[in-house]
A and B are shown apart, each in its own frame.
Chain A
Amino acid sequence: MNIPDSSTTAVELRDVRMIRSGHRVLDGFNLSIPAGRVTAIMGPSGSGKTTVMKLISGQLKPTSGSVFIGDQEIPRLKRSELNRVRRDIGVLLQNGALLTDLTCFDNVALPLREHTRLPETLIRKIVLLKLQAVGLRGAAELYPQQLSGGMNRRVAMARALALDPELMLYDEPFAGLDPISLAAGGRLIQQINRVLGITSVVITHDVSEVSKFADLACIIAGGKVVGFGTPAELSSSDEPMIKQFMQGLPDGPVPFHYPAPALDADIMGPK
């Protein structure tokens, strides 16, 4: 495995083991995400990508092992300490998760009003600039239900960026987007990362998009990191698991089927 050089590590998962409802999701999971880059976390459905994100954001605690953001060990933090760390993290959830009883403007203003003592005139300016960055300044006074799913996610992105975080986590930002939004979304993630000088972690299974915006990519399968490197390195890898995933082959070491008894025994059996 070729782990690229980086001056500092923004996020690190060390020997993480995660068991959820008796099912082993992660086991011996090690990952160092370098600061200042866009890192994509890829893997087949059910491979534990979202679990990794929830471990980083502190929504889940690992069964064993540790998770660090900078020098803070996330699972050991008290609630107030975790909240302090979370103010520096922007998270974009899969469906945006905007508060439906607030307008887009108020949604983006929410973290600013909660965590800062800025005057309302300044908050207005910041919110409009954030909405402008995602192309939705004109929709400021609309409610989330008046916008499409993709637009909701962009507003949520503006909200996640409201407090100028140092780390952005995106959970499946491209699921169900049209080709225009898809291309714009990838560019936006890259631009934000570069302009603000932050670290971005993107959970996705969209192999074709990853090469366009990510500096690094990591592939998870069987609860472990099976490949880590630049998208180009991964694409040219001969490792069977990486090859299967990057080329979208149905047959290979990663099973397509959920574990089940043999088909003929199940169908022709006594039941």
Chain B
Amino acid sequence: MDPQSSGSRLTRPIARLGHAVVFLLTALGRMRFTSLQLGEVLRQTYFVGVRSLIIIITCGFFVGLVLTLQTYDTLTRFGAGDAVSTVLSLSLFRELGPVLTAILFAGRAGTSMTAEIGLMKATEQLDALDLMAIDPMERIVQPRLLAGLIAVPVLTLIFNMTALLGGVVFGIFMMGIDSNVFWGNMQNSVELGRDFGGGMIKAVVFGFLASWLAVYYGWTCKPTGEGVALATTQTVIATAITVLLLDFVLTAMML
């Protein structure tokens, strides 16, 4: 059954979700760990991780800058300008870091995964693998799933770091907040497990989700130019919506 075309407007998304879950279970069920597979996972992690660095670093820095600017401006009205590092670090570690990284990852790496798999399908590369008795799930899907799982948490760390750097540039260098106060407040208010660890759990979940949706849409797209274009768009939209939705659920569970 093709979940894209059958069923009503109400049942279609449900069928699609079921299809995506079956796809994921099939991919995980055929997981095999060989040295060849490990090499491919590393190669894919490089592609999706290292190539997302520029966007993650740039966005992280500016998010840090503007967040500090806005918070400092509001806090000084209440005479609490020194607390800016607390607000900055908590909002970054708990929410903005994992959420924005996952959405940026979907835009930069998720789309390229979807388009790549879609084009492989259109040019019969997936068929060719199948005919050589090489499982395309094992060779194409699994390394990309794992690559997202590894890359997003690391990218989140980098995003948080550069955003903090943005905060330091604005808070310490431009507004003249004492650096001891800035770092001291942050150390006092951030709990390693609850705040930082909670955020990293989110990053792992979002990373897996983003790469799952990217490979799923690529795998199931129509093997035409139009089909690949549609799948790429769907990847970004679906990842953004599910990440934000899941973020609320995860936050509610953690608090």
Q: Does B125 contact A (CB under 8 A)?
A: yes
Contact A114 B124 (CB under 8 A): no
**A139 on the B face (CB < 8 A):** no
> A-B contact count, CB below 8 Å?
49
Is residue A74 contacting chain B, with contact meaning CB distance below 8 A?
no
Interface size on A (CB < 8 Å)? 22
Check A84–B133 contact: CB distance below 8 A: yes
Q: B interface, by DSSP: helix, strand, loop or mixed?
A: helix
The residue of chain A having its C-beta at the shortest distance from the C-beta of B36 within the complex is: A113
Q: Known interface pairs A97-B125, A98-B125. Does A57 touch B131 (Cβ–Cβ under 8 Å)?
A: yes
- Judge if B82 is at the interface, Cβ distance under 8 Å: no
For B121-145 the 0/1 string (1 means CB < 8 A from A) is 0011101111111110000000000
CB distance from B130 to the nearest CB of A (A): 7
In the bound complex, how far is the Cα of B123 from the Cα of A90, in angstroms?
18
Given known A-B contacts A113-B36, A114-B36, A100 and B125 have beta carbons under 8 A apart: yes
Judge whether A97 and B128 touch: CB under 8 Å.
yes
Contact, CB under 8 Å: B131 / A89: yes
Task: Please count how many residues in chain B sit with their CB below 8 Å of the partner chain's CB atoms.
Answer: 14
A127 to chain B, nearest CB (A): 14
Q: Is the CB of A111 within 8 A of B123?
A: no
Q: How far is the CA of A84 from the CA of B135 in the complex (A)?
A: 12
Rounded to whole Å, the gap between the CB of B139 and the closest CB of chain A is 8
Residues in B whose Cβ lies below 8 Å from that of A59: 127, 130-131
Report how far A89 CA is from B81 CA in the complex, Å: 72
Interface residues of B in 21-80 (CB under 8 A from A): 36
Task: Find out whether the CB atom of B134 lies under 8 angstroms from the CB atom of A111.
Answer: yes
Shortest CB–CB separation between residue B1 and chain A, in angstroms?
14
Q: Looking at the assembled complex, report how far the CB atom of A197 sits from the nearest CB atom of chain B, in whole angstroms.
A: 21
Residues of B within 8 A of A110 (CB): 132, 134
